[in-house]
Amino acid sequence: MQIYKTSFSFRNREFPIGNGKALQFIYGSRQFKTKGGLAAGTATTNVYSDKKFKTTMRAMQTSCCSPDEVIFSTNCEESLYCHLLCGLIFRDQVQVVSSTFAHGIVHAFRTFEGKWEDLVNDVRRGELCSWIKTPSLRTAMSKLLNPNPGLANIIYNKCMGLSNWYGVIQELFPNTKYIYGIMTGSMEPYLKKLRHYAGDLPLLSADYGASEGWIGANVNPELPPELAKFAVLPNIGYFEFIPLKEDLIVEPQPIELTEVNIGEEYEIIVTNFAGLYRYRLGDVVKVKGFHNSTPELQFICRRNLLLTVNIDKNTEKDLQLAVKAAANLLEEEKLEVVDFTSGIDSSTEPAHYVIYWEISGEASEELLKECCNCLDKSFLDPGYVSSRKVKTIGALELRILKKGTFHKILDHFVELGAAVSQFKTPRCVGTKNQTLLQILRHNVVKNYFSSAF
Ligand code: AMP
């Protein structure tokens, strides 16, 4: 709550809001007791169920539009529908549209595209549509719903007037001041779609932290998400930094918060009040400057290598850049990459990279072949390029997935107890994750091999 309030005070200076509500796409997940009797659950569930969460949100003039039954429903599809409906009911009061990670907002408005007519009908009739079965949701929503044909007509006309849903958030919630959520790191690929839905509304990137401990606040909310940096809050933990330099064979000793240098990259080590001692978070950050004397960090990527067959090393960031370059080609046919992941296929000799894409419509064969070549060419790591040239890594393969595959992947993780609020699409699927590989395999509709080398 302290970090929420800290960054809110910086945000509110640049983007002041009045008294109102927030349309927050937040979801609690299953909480349970360990054998030893300790309460266990995901971090965000713990936050949302804490009494202080509500008072803090009220103090920040952004109480959630949705009742607790919607936040804590175990059926996330029904819950999302009700979040959207609550947003529409309180349309004039909504000042902020947010979720923990940007994926949550994009996912919500992709769903809105398919369900908007049902939502308009519910507003018109003052009754929740029949496919929502959870009794607690039905009871909670019935307290908010009243027949409102006037509002239904407004929403209907707004939706009909939009071109390809551009600016839908701004149109539906006219008093929104900004869109808020974590937009950096693995969320960057969703920015383009988010900007499309947002219209002219500013996107404000939220703070930097993890279930294991919080790290920094965004004290420069006016910066676009691509440039967001986070001021380390030195009183919430004890932070050390492992310098990351390519040419070192032995890993250097960690250095202290005050010893970091601008422009250099580090892996963070956290020691905190929750009891973690010198815990390696696995994130790579770059020091961009200082806020007074605390460093401001830019999130770079997860440290684990993603794709490697032999001497090649490609990180999440490299994959993101390659996908971005190839996805630009899809614009020719007004298509976009809905989501993506990757893996290594070692069943061929030599092994090769596989990129999985779900795209928004049907692309031509020619274009997809071009995208496949572009992906292969866009991995610039010298180890990869040289191995491709001498064919010790096979031709990159692009596999196109059925529409809705990433939705199935989200459902799969939720079934395992993950929280939708904290969901991040895995960007690389290893052979250990057979269930996920199976979902991917069963949903491939076409594949292409690169002829770039
Ligand atoms: P979780 O498993 O939900 O606790 O996720 C924590 C992880 O999410 C961190 O270790 C980061 O890799 C990532 N993350 C959290 N905040 C940010 C941020 N502001 N920018 C980029 N990545 C973030």
- Over residues 261-310, the pLDDT tens digits come to 999 999 999 999 989 999 999 999 999 999 999 999 999 988 877 898 98
> Do 81 and 115 contact (CB within 8 A), yes or no?
yes
Cα 3 to ligand 1 centre (Å): 15
Q: What's the full length of the chain, in residues?
A: 453
**Best of 227, 276, 414, 424 to mutate for ligand 1, by most ligand atoms within 8 A of CB?**
424
Distances (CA, A) of 236 to 46, 214, 229, 350: 18, 7, 18, 48
Distance CA 19, CA 59 (A): 10
Residue whose tokens read 């499309």: 196
Cα 211 to ligand 1 centre (Å): 8
Query: pTM for the whole thing?
Result: 0.90
Cα 5 to ligand 1 centre (Å): 19
Distance CA 11, CA 17 (A): 10
- 416 pLDDT above the threshold of 70: yes
Query: How far is CA 133 from its chain centroid?
Result: 28
Q: What is the mean pLDDT of residues 335-350?
A: 94
How many degrees, rounded to 5, is the angle at CA 283 between CA 213 and CA 183? 80
- Bridge partners (DSSP) of residue 391 are none
Q: Quote the pLDDT of residue 41.
A: 85
**Out of 33-42, 299-308, 327-336, least confident range:** 299-308
Distance CA 126, CA 128 (A): 7
Q: What is the mean pLDDT of residues 142-170?
A: 97
**pLDDT per residue as tens digits for the range 182-217:** 999 989 999 999 999 999 999 999 999 998 889 999
Q: Is pLDDT larger for residue 245 or for residue 394?
A: 394
Query: Does ligand 1 come within 6 angstroms of the Cβ of 423?
Result: no
Query: Does ligand 1 come within 6 angstroms of the Cβ of 190?
Result: no
Distance CA 177, CA 96 (A): 6
Query: Does ligand 1 come within 6 angstroms of the Cβ of 185?
Result: yes
Query: Does ligand 1 come within 6 angstroms of the Cβ of 346?
Result: no
Q: Quote the pLDDT of residue 407.
A: 93
**Out of 155-164, 223-232, 419-428, least confident range:** 419-428
Q: Quote the pLDDT of residue 418.
A: 82
Closest ligand 1 atom to Cα of 211? 4
Mean pLDDT, all residues of the chain: 94
Q: Quote the pLDDT of residue 106.
A: 96
Cα 385 to ligand 1 centre (Å): 30
Q: Quote the pLDDT of residue 29.
A: 84
What share of the chain has pLDDT > 90, as a percent? Answer: 82
Distance CA 311, CA 386 (A): 9
- 394 pLDDT above the threshold of 70: yes
Q: Quote the pLDDT of residue 247.
A: 66
**Best of 239, 283, 286, 303 to mutate for ligand 1, by most ligand atoms within 8 A of CB?**
283
Distance CA 269, CA 289 (A): 19
- 440 pLDDT above the threshold of 90: yes
How many degrees, rounded to 5, is the angle at CA 360 between CA 357 and CA 365? 65
Query: Does ligand 1 come within 6 angstroms of the Cβ of 211?
Result: yes
Closest ligand 1 atom to Cα of 43? 4
> Do 391 and 350 contact (CB within 8 A), yes or no?
yes
Cα 269 to ligand 1 centre (Å): 14
Q: Quote the pLDDT of residue 147.
A: 98
Distances (CA, A) of 197 to 158, 357, 360: 13, 21, 15
pLDDT band at 431 (very low <50, low <70, confident <90, very high): confident
pLDDT band at 78 (very low <50, low <70, confident <90, very high): very high
- 83 pLDDT above the threshold of 80: yes
Query: Does ligand 1 come within 6 angstroms of the Cβ of 283?
Result: yes
Query: How far is CA 239 from its chain centroid?
Result: 25
| Radius of gyration of the chain, Cα coordinates, nearest whole angstrom | 23
Cα 289 to ligand 1 centre (Å): 20
> Do 232 and 298 contact (CB within 8 A), yes or no?
no
pLDDT band at 163 (very low <50, low <70, confident <90, very high): very high
pLDDT band at 248 (very low <50, low <70, confident <90, very high): low
Cα 210 to ligand 1 centre (Å): 5
CA dihedral of residues 417, 423, 424, 425 (deg, nearest 10)? 70
Q: Any residues with CB less than 8 A from the CB of 146 and at least 6 apart, and which?
A: 126
